Amino acid sequence: MNPKFFIKTFGCQMNVADTERMSALLSELGMLPADHLEDAQVIIINGCSVREKASHKAVSILGGLQELKQDGRGPIIGMGGCVGQLDKETLFKRAPFLDFVFGTDTIDNLPEILHRVKNGERRVLFTDFDPSMDYSTETKVFGAKAQAFVNIMKGCDKYCTYCIVPYTRGREKSRTISEVVDDIARLVASGVREVTLLGQNVNSFGKGNPNASAREPRELHNVIGKVGPKDGEENFPQLLRAIDSDSRCAELKRIRFTSSHPLDFSEELIDCYASPERGGVSRLSPNLHLPVQSGSNAVLQKMGRHHKIETYVEQMDRLRQVCPDVSISSDLIVGFPTETAQDFEDTLALCERVQFDSIYAFAYSPRPGTRASKMQDDVPNTVKNERLNQLLQHQMKIAEKRYASRIGKEMEMLVEGESKNQKVAGGKSGKVWTGRTGCNRVVNFFSENPMDFTGRFVNVKIVAASGLSLQGELVTGDATGDIK
Ligand code: SF4
């Protein structure tokens, strides 16, 4: 019988992509995924360090695993992700039964790590960063999938004062455009139809890689001047255009990306959102996640963000001019040190002005090891929580209006699977399916058709909306099985 593995993932899409890679590596060793942790011979916690709470969660799970390791037997247990990268050998002190710790740069060493543990080595530690500035890899997809995460760069050189990522993911380095395009062409040949290009700051993609093919645009600009990689280096708009124009990627339907920093969000990237007739990138999804973090310039300065609210608003206005249907989401932190009531009002005003489709908002908590953790955490927790609730309610009203504006429209969606949240009304047979539109809105629809819609593109007519999702009726495929 094949041995089984179980991976518990915390955190961002980078960690989700890393879990996918670990799963593919383990399946190459003949292992199968376990539905339940108790059935696995290898258990990996892919931990997130971005907030202290998330880090604690990952480590506290370890406590519950101890009983599986009675008498030194039981599954092989490892900790990875940013928690492994940051906490390294201290994790062995906190959980002496832990078999291995690995980091964000050593995922590909997983087969070797397991081999060493199986051969009796104890407390295997693999957390070194690859010191080379080159970054070369091949995307591994676990099972047949229509969607794939493609790492195009890693690391971050921005050093925002509250963020631990530059310490857990290292300095920025990028794959070459030709390598990424070849990788995506291979994924498309295997059935992938949507790729999400991943990096901590994709706007810095290409820094240090010579633009040997003289691709355009050669330089990137925004209102503050030249941004991103220099003339003579590769850059992100070049990559989008290279994927879009490669005949091997003709069957690719969507290109998404995350995440970006407003400082070097460029005019040339905005141009990629235009319609193909106006020189845009035809497969680029009309969706942008651009973290702004606060609506107050004073707070942004304390956060070390090096961008201004006025330029952010200008960028979003320009983007909506070029692509009126674009959906925009953002990250916001409330209660950062020194944030006044007026600063918070400015954040509410920014949401009103930009009309985000969705936000990911958090109450600030200091992350040890960051510069902000040395600032006085002077906004009381009660105030932070009040502001967070107020912000979320404010945003919900905006989102409800924006989502409701889609009612009556026909939209294409990629079905991701059966809805876990929505149930079929009593007495009906069939299933509720869920997926996303090109503009990244969640749509649920009901179908009596017994076929598995997962991984298929279908057209739905939007019949209802909340501030979180849309309700659709299937237009193509239901009666005939003719799925687009
Ligand atoms: S841009 Fe700032 S918040 Fe984003 S990963 Fe880099 S340091 Fe962290």
DSSP character string of 174-208: E--HHHHHHHHHHHHHTT--EEEEE-TTGGGTTTT
Ligand 1 pocket check for 163: Cβ under 6 Å: yes
Ligand 1 pocket check for 156: Cβ under 6 Å: yes
- Residue of the CA atom closest to atom 1 of ligand 1: 158
- Tell me, what DSSP letter sits at residue 279? T
Ligand 1 pocket check for 54: Cβ under 6 Å: no
Q: Are 411 and 462 in contact (CB under 8 A)?
A: yes
Structure tokens at 281: 């990138």
pLDDT at 72: 66
β partners of residue 330: 359
Ligand 1 pocket check for 7: Cβ under 6 Å: no
The rounded Å distance from CA 294 to ligand 1 centre is 14
Q: Are 312 and 346 in contact (CB under 8 A)?
A: no
Over the chain (484 residues), the average pLDDT of each successive run of 10 is 92 88 94 92 90 78 83 87 89 92 92 94 90 88 90 94 88 96 97 95 95 96 92 97 98 95 95 97 97 98 96 97 96 98 98 97 93 97 98 97 96 92 72 94 92 93 95 73 42
Q: Nearest 5°: phi and psi at 45?
A: -100, 120
Would the CA dihedral through 237, 241, 243, 249 be positive or negative?
positive
- Tell me, what DSSP letter sits at residue 248? G
Q: Are 106 and 128 in contact (CB under 8 A)?
A: yes
ipTM tops the 0.90 cut:
yes
**Which residue type does 431 have?**
K
Q: Are 355 and 400 in contact (CB under 8 A)?
A: no
The rounded Å distance from CA 304 to ligand 1 centre is 10
pLDDT at 54: 73
SS3 382: helix
Structure tokens at 35: 């539905």
The rounded Å distance from CA 221 to ligand 1 centre is 20
Ligand 1 pocket check for 359: Cβ under 6 Å: no
The CA-atom distances, in angstroms, between 200 and each of 71, 79, 141 are: 42, 22, 20
Q: Are 126 and 101 in contact (CB under 8 A)?
A: yes
List strands edge to edge, sheet with 100-102: 32-33, 4-9, 42-47, 76-80, 100-102, 124-126
pLDDT at 426: 66
Q: How far is 309 from 399, CA to CA, in rounded Å?
A: 21
The CA-atom distances, in angstroms, between 480 and each of 435, 448, 474, 477 are: 20, 12, 12, 5
Q: How far is 154 from 201, CA to CA, in rounded Å?
A: 8
pLDDT at 3: 93
Q: How far is 219 from 237, CA to CA, in rounded Å?
A: 10
- Tell me, what DSSP letter sits at residue 469? -
pLDDT at 478: 43
The rounded Å distance from CA 112 to ligand 1 centre is 31
Number of neighbours of residue 116 by Cβ within 10 angstroms = 16
Ligand 1 pocket check for 154: Cβ under 6 Å: no
Q: How far is 415 from 458, CA to CA, in rounded Å?
A: 7
From the CA atom positions of the chain, what is the Rg in Å? Answer: 23
pLDDT at 66: 85
Q: Are 180 and 48 in contact (CB under 8 A)?
A: no
Angle at 25 between CA 20 and CA 27, to 5 degrees: 95
Would the CA dihedral through 19, 422, 326, 292 be positive or negative?
negative
Ligand 1 pocket test target in 156, 171, 203, 289 with most atoms within 8 Å of CB: 156
The rounded Å distance from CA 156 to ligand 1 centre is 6
Helix, strand, coil percentages, rounded to 5, for the chain: 35, 20, 40
pLDDT at 438: 94
Ligand 1 pocket check for 159: Cβ under 6 Å: yes
Q: How far is 320 from 354, CA to CA, in rounded Å?
A: 10
Atom of ligand 1 nearest to the CA of 157: 6
The rounded Å distance from CA 423 to ligand 1 centre is 38
The rounded Å distance from CA 219 to ligand 1 centre is 23
Domains of the chain from N-terminus onward: 4-126 (3.40.50.12160), 131-285 (3.30.750.210), 295-405 (3.30.750.200), 410-474 (2.40.50)
Question: Could you tell me which residues come within 8 angstroms of residue 389 by beta carbon, excluding any fewer than 6 positions away?
Answer: none
The rounded Å distance from CA 157 to ligand 1 centre is 8
Q: Are 47 and 10 in contact (CB under 8 A)?
A: yes
Atom of ligand 1 nearest to the CA of 50: 8
Number of neighbours of residue 248 by Cβ within 10 angstroms = 14
Angle at 14 between CA 339 and CA 149, to 5 degrees: 135
Q: Are 268 and 202 in contact (CB under 8 A)?
A: no
Angle at 353 between CA 347 and CA 358, to 5 degrees: 75
Q: How far is 383 from 304, CA to CA, in rounded Å?
A: 23
Q: How far is 229 from 177, CA to CA, in rounded Å?
A: 13
Q: How far is 6 from 226, CA to CA, in rounded Å?
A: 46
SS3 233: strand
The rounded Å distance from CA 158 to ligand 1 centre is 6
SS3 429: coil
